[in-house]
Structure formats: C-alpha cells, structure tokens
C-alpha cells in the first residue's frame, strides 16, 4: 500500500535553536496519528512544516496526490500547494479565530471553501453549508449569524465544518480541543471520532492532552527537544512507555 503521507528527514531550526530534527514516518490512508510532547518540544513546528505553513531546512513531505501520485510538497510550486491545501488537505487551528473569517456569516465560512474549489450555484452552496452545520451540531437558525456571536465550542465546530466540507483526505489538527471546557471537549471529540471514521480520513493531531490521543489516535509519536523519542501503537505507548521521557509524561497525568 502507498502511504498517503511520507515524511523523510524533516528538520527545521530557528537560528541555533532546534525546532524539529530529522523526523521520518509514513502515514497510511485512514490512519490517525497523535503527536504529544511538552510545550516547546517541536510538535507545532513539525505540523506547520508538514502543512506547508513553514519551510523546512531539510527533508521531504511526500503526499500521494489524486492526479499525479506521490509528490514532494516542499518543492512543489506555490499554486499547486495552495490548491492542495484547499482540496485534499485541511488544517484545524487551536484558536478557531485563526481558521475562520470572523466578519462573514457561519454559512459564508463554510461556503467560501466550496467556492474556492469552483462551486458557484448559490442554492447548492447554501444547502451544503446548512447540511454541514447540522453535522457539527450547530442550530441551522444560526447560518446567517457571524461566528463572533458564537461560543468557543461552536466556533471550533464551525471551523471543523469549514475544513471538512470539501472532503479532504488529510486533516492537520493543532490542539483542536485546547482552551475548551471539559464538557465541550467531550462533545467535540465524539464528533471528530465519528467524522474521521465515517469519512475514512487520515489525520495528524498535535496535542498535549493524552486522553485526546487515546480516544482519537491509532498511533502516537512522543517528541522532546525537537526529536521523536518514541513512536508506536497509541495504547502501547501510553500503557507501556519505553523511553524515560514518555514514562515521565504518562506518569505525570493526574488520575481523576
């Protein structure tokens, strides 16, 4: 089977400081991978390098494109990479405000992504937008309201609808449940889990919440100081961690 995403020797430095160093892995279709580590361990740098938001210093990010098969997205032309990020890729930001257009209605936020890939029929766009608001459990009456009038949890669900409406194959998520209260988190996680399974999505989720990865991720990478110190099946890494840092991370979680 061809990996959907193949990362080889990805490195990024900030001057003398290491962002992430020599990261390599293959992600297969339908797989969900979690990346955990403390603040500053390089997990967001790695995510942004993979998603094309940062230019890595070395390495390849090979994506299996629909049209041309595996292509290195680091050396790809800017328009081709932008097209990819509007179609096969999606990026869910930690702060919904970074991923939404706050001055545009909820329906407009979802519809905009459809128009970016060529949809023009107003009725179809609005129909699809309301359908997605329902799927992420936002009351359809709110379709014409701006996200500024939404709660944090609703904004995050709207961001997810905006991202998934074009049927991407790979979703990058940066702390998707960060900053939300626990009851809202549970609802969002349940929603994400259902969407990932029903749509057969592959996803890479950066988080420092081990409960989130246990619920969503098939496999896990543990990062420390820019390096991947351990990788494997999620429940194996969490229940029988091998590296000193992974053991510290798992044993530091307070029992509820």
Partner 1 sequence: MIELNDVSKTFTLHNQGSAVIEVFNDVSFRVAAGECVALTGASGAGKSTLMRMIYGNYLAQTGEICIGGVDLVQAAPREVIQLRRDVLGYVSQFLRVVPRVSTLDVVAEPLRMVGVAADQAEIRARALLAQLNIPERLWSLSPTTFSGGEQQRVNIARGFAHNYPAMLLDEPTASLDAANREVVLSLIEDAKARGAAIIGIFHDEAARARVCDREIDVTRFVPGVAA
Binding site for partner 1 (CB under 8 A): 28, 31, 186-187, 189-190, 193, 215, 218-219, 232-236, 239-240, 242-244, 247-248, 251
Nearer to partner 1 among residue 95 and residue 214 (C-beta)? 214
Report the nearest approach of partner 1 to the CB of residue 247 (Å). Answer: 5
Vertex 92: Cα angle to 42 and 184 (nearest 5): 105
Nearer to partner 1 among residue 3 and residue 70 (C-beta)? 3
Distance CA 55, CA 38 (A): 23
Nearer to partner 1 among residue 25 and residue 40 (C-beta)? 25
Residue 63's SS3 state is: strand
Cβ neighbours of residue 236 closer than 8 Å, sequence gap 6 or more: none
Nearer to partner 1 among residue 72 and residue 240 (C-beta)? 240
Contact indicator for 114, 128 with CB cutoff of 8 Å: yes
Report the nearest approach of partner 1 to the CB of residue 52 (Å). Answer: 25
Report the nearest approach of partner 1 to the CB of residue 32 (Å). Answer: 10
Nearer to partner 1 among residue 58 and residue 248 (C-beta)? 248
Report the nearest approach of partner 1 to the CB of residue 194 (Å). Answer: 9
Q: Are strands 219-224 and 32-36 parallel, antiparallel or unpaired?
A: parallel
Cβ neighbours of residue 67 closer than 8 Å, sequence gap 6 or more: none
The end-to-end CA distance of the chain, in Å, is: 41
Report the nearest approach of partner 1 to the CB of residue 236 (Å). Answer: 6
Distance CA 124, CA 111 (A): 9
255: which DSSP letter?
P
């Amino acid at each position: 089977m061809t990996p959907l995403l193949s990362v080889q020797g990805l490195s990024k430095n900030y001057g003398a400081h290491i962002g992430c160093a020599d990261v390599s892995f293959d992600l297969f279709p339908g797989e969900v991978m979690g990346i955990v580590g403390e603040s500053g361990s390089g997990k967001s740098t790695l995510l942004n390098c993979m998603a094309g938001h940062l230019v890595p210093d070395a390495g390849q990010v090979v994506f299996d494109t629909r049209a041309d098969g595996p292509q290195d997205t680091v050396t790809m032309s800017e328009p081709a990479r932008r097209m990819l990020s509007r179609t096969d890729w999606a990026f869910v930001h930690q702060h919904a405000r970074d991923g939404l257009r706050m001055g545009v209605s909820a329906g407009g936020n979802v519809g905009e992504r459809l128009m970016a890939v060529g949809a023009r029929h107003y009725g179809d766009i609005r129909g699809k937008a309301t359908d997605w608001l329902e799927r992420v459990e936002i009351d359809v009456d709110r379709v014409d309201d701006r996200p500024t009038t939404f709660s944090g949890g609703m904004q995050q669900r709207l961001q997810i609808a905006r991202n998934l409406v074009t049927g991407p194959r790979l979703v990058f998520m940066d702390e998707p449940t960060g900053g939300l209260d626990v009851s809202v988190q549970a609802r969002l996680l349940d929603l994400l889990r259902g969407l990932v399974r029903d749509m057969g999505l592959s996803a890479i989720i950066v988080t420092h919440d081990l409960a989130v990865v246990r619920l969503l991720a098939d496999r896990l990478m543990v990062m420390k100081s820019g390096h991947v110190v351990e990788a494997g099946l999620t429940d194996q890494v969490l229940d029988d961690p091998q590296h000193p840092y992974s053991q510290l991370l798992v044993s530091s979680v307070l029992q509820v």
